[in-house]
Amino acid sequence: MFRALFQTLTPLLLVAAAHAAPLYQQSKFTAGDAGWTVWSARPETRTKAYVDQRISRGEAGSLAIGGASNAAGHGGWEHTVPGIAPGAWYRFTAHYRADAVDAENWQVVARLDWRTAAGKRAGQPEYVARARRDGVWTRLTAEAPAPKDAAGVAVQLYLSNAPAGTVWWDDLTLERIADPGARPVRVASINLQPRGAKGPQESVGQFIDAIQKSVSGAVDLIVLPEGITVVGTGKTYAEVAETIPGPTTSRLGEVARARKAYIVAGIYEREGSTVYNTAVLLDRAGAVAGKYRKVYLPREEVERGLTPGSSYPVFATDFGKVGMMICYDVFFGDPARALATQGAEMILMPIWGGDETLAKARAIEN
């Protein structure tokens, strides 16, 4: 199942430009720029689209859209780019700056609307959803293949239902990239609850033994459960907490290095007087490649002195971009959404126990 799934993923990192010159690139805008038109579905939903010479990211001028005090407002700027090759891969990049927009993730819209030679829609529009903040600007990217009957693409930059808001668009690039090809990934997941361990060393040892006995052949990733340093020990979170890097990451690092595989595991991390429920990512060389501190703590963990994390980081591996969640995080929509909008292609979730349906829901949503 994992192999079939990952052969269909579009890579964010593992691509190379197929042509040196972009198909379209612009960072300077002036009133009356050829090719740019203003669009709305009907007059009643019109926004205020104009070129603003005061605000820009690169050269002078940006494409601005104001909400015009219209709660029904949806629309903005469009520009059609010809010369699209059916089936070829393209990367689109845009930068925007927003003011008084409550929900940028859906009210600030950039998309590629593929067109046939006759100007009709080809396939389905590609929404530009990978976001990265860069000062007051946000960089959006999307990578996708053109539909089989595409000959051009309409670049669409909109503001949606933000009556008091304004968005400025600048630094736009559309370029052809190499077909990324398939990326098969082999994943092993360990389901184990040790019993009778006298401490973290014995508990972790049982997980390492399970890897040696159960995971055969070459794998790219081994995922262990939540809290492997405490399960079965009878200890408190604080008693088993350790630094990262520390003794457990060192032991797991030896396994990762020997197996030439990434390993993800949930442990309890101490930083001064603070204790976190943390998922750690080890690379194929056994080094700590990243960590995530559980944001949503259930009542029991709060009562036992754990501190929540405050961010959802993503990490680059040699097979793609990954994020991590832990157990109770799956009950809430924002952790998976935050990881997806940063480009995570795979979410790795150490878990003690939970509702599998919620994990399916988070995958469907994103």
- Active-site residue among 294, 301, 321, 345? 294
The SS3 assignment for 88 reads coil
Determine the average pLDDT of the residues in 134-163: 97
The SS3 assignment for 144 reads strand
Amino acid present at 335:
P
Determine the average pLDDT of the residues in 176-189: 95
Whole-angstrom CA distances from 148 to 23, 84, 110, 291 are 18, 10, 22, 41
- Does domain 17-177 correspond to CATH entry 3.40.50.2000? no
Q: Does residue 6 register a pLDDT over 90?
A: no
Would you state the pLDDT for residue 14? 32
pLDDT band at 9 (very low <50, low <70, confident <90, very high): very low
- Active-site residue among 126, 175, 226, 269? 226
Would you state the pLDDT for residue 355? 87
Would you state the pLDDT for residue 159? 98
Q: Does residue 8 register a pLDDT over 80?
A: no
Predicted TM-score (pTM) of the model is 0.77
Would you state the pLDDT for residue 20? 58
Q: Does residue 259 register a pLDDT over 50?
A: yes
Annotation says 327 is catalytic: yes
pLDDT band at 34 (very low <50, low <70, confident <90, very high): confident
pLDDT band at 185 (very low <50, low <70, confident <90, very high): very high
Determine the average pLDDT of the residues in 72-83: 98
Determine the average pLDDT of the residues in 139-168: 97
- Go through 324-348 and write b for each residue having 16 or more CB atoms within 10 A of its CB, e for each that does not: bbbbbbbeeeebbebbbbbbbbbbb
Of 203, 207, 213, whose CA–CA distance to 242 is shortest?
203
Q: Does residue 16 register a pLDDT over 90?
A: no
Of 152, 84, 77, whose CA–CA distance to 118 is shortest?
152
Determine the average pLDDT of the residues in 328-356: 94
Q: Does residue 17 register a pLDDT over 60?
A: no
Annotation says 120 is catalytic: no
Question: What CATH number labels 187-365?
Answer: 3.60.110.10
Percent of the residues in the chain that have a pLDDT greater than 90, as a whole number: 89
**pLDDT tens-digit series, residues 88-129:** 999 999 999 999 999 999 999 999 999 999 999 999 999 998
Distance separating alpha carbons of residues 106 and 140, to the nearest angstrom: 13
Would you state the pLDDT for residue 1? 26
**pLDDT tens-digit series, residues 193-237:** 998 999 999 999 999 999 999 999 999 999 999 999 999 999 999
**pLDDT tens-digit series, residues 287-297:** 999 999 999 99
* Percent of residues in the chain assigned helix, strand, coil, to nearest 5: 20, 35, 45
Partnered with residue 221 across adjacent β-strands are 187, 262
Average pLDDT, the chain: 93
- Active-site residue among 143, 175, 327, 345? 327
Would you state the pLDDT for residue 224? 98
Residues present in the chain in total: 366
Would you state the pLDDT for residue 339? 96
Domain boundaries, the chain: 17-177, 187-365
Distance separating alpha carbons of residues 232 and 252, to the nearest angstrom: 18
List strand residue ranges (DSSP E) for the chain, in order: 24-26, 36-40, 48-52, 62-66, 74-82, 89-99, 108-115, 126-127, 130-134, 137-145, 152-160, 166-177, 187-189, 221-223, 262-271, 274-282, 288-293, 314-317, 320-324, 346-348
Q: Which of 27-41, 51-65, 139-153 has the lowest mean pLDDT?
A: 27-41
- Go through 290-308 and write b for each residue having 16 or more CB atoms within 10 A of its CB, e for each that does not: bbbbbbbbeeebeeeebbe
